Amino acid sequence: MNDSNFDYDLFVIGTGPGGEGAAMQCAKNGMRVGVAERYRQIGGGCTHWGTIPSKALRYAITSTMTALKNPALREMGITTTPTLEQLRRGTESIIGQQVTMRQSFYDRNNVPVYHGQARFVDDHSVSIDGDEPIRAKHFVIATGSRPFRPANVDFKHPRIFESDTVLGMKEKPTSMCVYGAGVIGVEYASMFRNLGIKVNLINTRGKLLEFLDDEIIDAISYHLRDQGVVIRHNETLESIEGGPDGVVLELKSGKRVKSDVLLWANGRSGNTDDLGLENLEVVANNRGQIQVDEHFQSVVPHIYAVGDVIGVPSLASAAYTQGRAAGMHILGQADGNLRLHDIPTGIYTSPEISSVGKTERELTESCIPYEVGQAQFKSLARAQITGQTTGMLKLLFHRDTLEILGVHCFGANASEIVHIGQAIMSQPGGQNTVTYFVETTFNYPTMAEAYRVAALNGLNRLF
């Protein structure tokens, strides 16, 4: 088939990080690219309902509450209780800045944005809201995900929220129940507790965030409880009843929890139900997710899928890299998937959590001889100066080769600090070594010097 039979070399459905990564990669390499977006503005769930608004609100809450707890302000007689509306106001301008910046990428690279719902007519054509079909040689599905909404939960009730709607909550409740203790549930539990809201966190598993290192799990569990969050493990929903004065959550264990509002944070579904997949051989699973190979190709090789719509890790950072990897594969530039084996976790609780590489549990199960190096933040001058002394950095390295196997960080700026370890871990040959950190001069005082402290601590354990 001649390329002139196609309107575009690549057509991307969705303008979140995954769609943007694929579109920009291919447009900058001379391909004719078009994108579709069903929301009135570009940016996807990341910009409008998830990452950006939630992290902006988190910052507004932590910085405001820290300031209000300052003894100097108290002495001046300054006491106030900010409303959710006041705290949220700043997030709207940040979203606006993100949209303007991202729109400029499409404009600069001559990528037209079609607004409307794209549906496949056949495996080389999509129609936007039923208009004349657009034909493309390749497609990238980057439609993202939404909170999973089980049929037995009444999300129309004004006191029952999920992660997309909770940011629009009008009044600050006195108490909240969070059902689901994955990353989103734990982040929101931490955020709302910082506002002084009583929080019940209901976990369907045996411990919080099981994919993390056990020591980090213990730390976040302790700090959430220390802040006053009530955590209940191994619980399963029986029913949720919304009333005029609150929500009653009944659990299969017989427990009943009543709170002003309930936040449902248990699972997400891929946005594939209105894509016209029935006209393709591509079949989404029961969570609306599309199966792909290591190049992000679906069962139809010229149709790729990236980001939340393919499931884990469901991170904006990973989606962008996946989009670029798919674009490079379409261009024939790369056959790998761009270091997607070492995606760091970034969990924006208070304090933050971030990690990359193996956990102690995984290394022990694999019988890999490792040693641990630790730096407690309370011993760092920078942490003492800023007053953010909660936390630690942990390096896991091979006893014999000194190769860094995992980096785990808990505390202020953890999601930034982890990248230093990630950079050394990715070095080839014998250059990935914990000795890098003891031979390197770090600025003083900084949080980054935790690497030197942790490396020395670990090397001192060797014999």
| Sequential pLDDT tens for the chain (463 residues) | 346 789 999 999 999 999 999 999 999 999 999 999 999 999 999 999 999 999 999 999 988 888 888 888 878 887 778 888 888 888 888 999 999 999 999 999 999 999 999 999 999 999 999 899 999 999 999 999 999 999 999 999 999 999 999 988 989 999 999 999 999 999 999 999 999 999 999 999 999 999 999 999 999 999 999 999 999 999 999 999 999 999 999 999 999 999 999 999 999 999 999 999 999 999 999 999 999 998 999 999 999 999 999 998 889 999 999 999 999 999 998 766 667 678 999 999 989 999 999 999 999 999 999 999 999 999 999 999 999 999 999 999 999 999 999 999 999 999 999 999 999 999 998 899 999 999 999 999 999 999 999 999 999 999 9
Q: What pLDDT does 66 receive?
A: 84
Query: What contacts 392, CB < 8 A, 6 or more positions away?
Result: 219, 374, 375, 376, 377, 409, 410, 411, 450
Over the Cα atoms of the chain, what is R_g? 24
Binding residues for NAD(+): 180-187, 267
Please work out, in degrees rounded to the nearest 5, the angle formed at the alpha carbon of residue 420 by the alpha carbons of 414 and 424. Answer: 140
Two tokens, residue 185: 């549930």
Q: How many CB atoms sit inside 10 A of residue 381's CB?
A: 12
Q: How far is residue 34's CA from residue 54's CA, in Å, rounded to a whole number?
A: 29
**End-to-end Cα, the chain, rounded Å:** 67
Q: CA-CA distance, 327 to 321, in Å (whole number)?
A: 10
Is residue 51 within 8 Å of residue 347, measured between CB atoms? no
Q: Binding site: which residues?
A: 55, 143-145, 180-187, 267, 308
* CA-wise closest residue to 339 among 328, 354, 353: 328
Tell me which long-range contacts 448-451 makes (C-beta under 8 A, separation of at least 24).
448/417, 448/420, 449/380, 449/382, 450/375, 450/377, 450/380, 450/392, 450/393, 450/409, 450/417, 451/375, 451/393, 451/395, 451/420, 451/421
Q: Is residue 440 exposed (0-12), middle (13-18) or buried (19+ Cβ within 10 Å)?
A: middle
Contact of 364 with 376, CB cutoff 8 Å = no
Cis link prior to 351 (omega < 30° from 0)? yes
At residue 341, the pLDDT reads 72
- How many angstroms separate the CA atoms of 143 and 305, rounded? 9
Of 410, 38, 382, nearest in space to 224 by CA: 410
Alpha-carbon span 231 to 239, nearest angstrom: 19
Cα–chain-centroid distance for residue 28?
27
Number of H helices and E strands in the chain, helices first, is 13, 22
The continuous run of DSSP H or E covering 71 comes out as helix 71-75
* Whole-number Å distance between alpha carbons of 299 and 277: 12
Detail the residues annotated as belonging to a binding site for FAD: 55, 143-145, 308
Domains of the chain: 3-147+269-342 (3.50.50.60), 160-266 (3.50.50.60), 351-459 (3.30.390.30)
Output the pLDDT for position 1: 38
Q: What is the pTM of this model?
A: 0.92
Identify the residue whose tokens are 């503005």.
Answer: 41
